Amino acid sequence: MYFVSNIIKVTIPNYLAGLPIPDTIGGWFHLGVKDWLALLPPTLAVGGISYYSYKTIKKAREAGTGQINPGIRKDIKKVVDFIDIEDITEKASLCRCWKSKNWPYCDGAHGPHNRETGDNTGPIVVRHKEKK
Ligand code: FES
């Protein structure tokens, strides 16, 4: 426990105190390359922590509502689409993940969703039997 305590109480404060953070706004314009390089690791750490916090909170909010539709026509009570089979020339990929920006057609948004969540969603492909 001493190791963790020492990192939090001594090592991190000493490291932060040694960073070349200017006292004035104008001081930022006088920083040299070495100073900016010294500021890079803590900036990346804060940025990374912020990014993952944002992603985690966003994911928790989406999961917390129990809704699968993240934003398609939320102003109506129920999303129903009709596509006349005669209008499909060869085949049509219809979204089943509710992430497509080209709803009701699949735009590939299920791919990033699957990578992010470990899900396995994909479109339903409607095609003419004789044109397979
Ligand atoms: S974008 Fe939703 S299934 Fe492809």
**List of domains in the chain:** 2-65 (no CATH), 85-131 (3.40.5.90)
pLDDT of residue 58: 86
pLDDT at 88 over 90: no
Beta carbons within 8 Å of 101's beta carbon, 6+ residues apart: 107, 109
Is the CB of residue 35 below 6 angstroms from any atom belonging to ligand 1?
no
pLDDT of residue 49: 97
Please tell me the distance from the alpha carbon of residue 52 to that of residue 58, in angstroms, as a whole number: 10
pLDDT of residue 13: 93
Catalytic residue among 78, 129, 131, 132: 78
Average pLDDT over residues 11-25: 93
pLDDT of residue 63: 73
Please tell me the distance from the alpha carbon of residue 123 to that of residue 78, in angstroms, as a whole number: 20
pLDDT at 131 over 70: no
Q: How confident is the model at residue 132 (pLDDT cuts 50, 70, 90)?
A: low
Please tell me the distance from the alpha carbon of residue 108 to that of residue 42, in angstroms, as a whole number: 36
Please tell me the distance from the alpha carbon of residue 72 to that of residue 100, in angstroms, as a whole number: 9
How far, in Å, is the centroid of ligand 1 from the Cα of 60? 21
By the 8 A CB rule, do 42 and 16 touch? yes
By the 8 A CB rule, do 99 and 113 touch? yes
Average pLDDT over residues 11-16: 93
Q: Can 77 be counted among the known catalytic residues?
A: no
Rg (CA), the chain: 25
CA angle 99, 104, 108 (to 5 degrees): 45
Residues 105-127: tens digit of each pLDDT:
999 999 999 999 899 999 999 98
